[in-house]
Amino acid sequence: MKQPKDNIVSAEQNRKIVEDAVAEWRAGNPEAFYKILDDDVLWTVIGSTEVSGTYTSRQAFIDGAVRKIGNRVDGQVKPEIVDIVTEGDRLVFRWDGSGRMADGTPYHNRYSWAMTFKNGKVVEGTAYLDTALVNTLMALPNP
């Protein structure tokens, strides 16, 4: 008798998972994207900003980076897909994020998130972004 294999998800299915999560995010539910992260995701934000570093769980990433940025943005950052490139279990999601900083300054950042999927969830990711802009954002008072 064959042993059950991991739930193998194709590169195109991983692409659809990201596209669907981004569509929900754009519709006003930014948490939709974070639901595709594995509970134990290893997520790295590059650079030397206040939110840079490696997070060892979805909740640590949300608490250590997402909320800190979100507290300094007026409303939410709206994602616009630039490109999604897939190969096997790896996916690179390039996107533009636009919104306003809490002080009214326009916020436009270009992101590139390199992710590894397993069983339809992101188990590892690295976020590349304009860290100088993040430093400007993080210099705003935390409400």
pLDDT digits (tens, 9 = 90+) for 29-57: 999 999 999 999 999 999 999 999 999 99
What own/partner pairs with CB < 8 Å and gap ≥ 24 does 92-101 have? 93/18, 95/22, 99/73, 99/74, 99/75, 100/73, 100/74, 100/75, 101/72, 101/73, 101/74, 101/136, 101/137, 101/140
Q: How confident is the model at residue 7 (pLDDT cuts 50, 70, 90)?
A: low
Q: How far apart are CA 32 and CA 78, in angstroms?
A: 13
Q: How far apart are CA 2 and CA 80, in angstroms?
A: 43
Q: How far apart are CA 102 and CA 131, in angstroms?
A: 18
Per-residue pLDDT at 8 exceeds 80: no
Q: Tokens 């709206």 label which residue? A: 78
Q: What is the mean pLDDT of residues 112-132?
A: 97
Phi, psi of 13 (to 5 degrees): -65, -40
- Per DSSP, helices labelled H in 1-143 are 11-26, 31-34, 58-61, 67-70, 131-138
Q: Tell me the percentage of the chain whose pLDDT exceeds 70.
A: 94
| pLDDT of 1 | 40
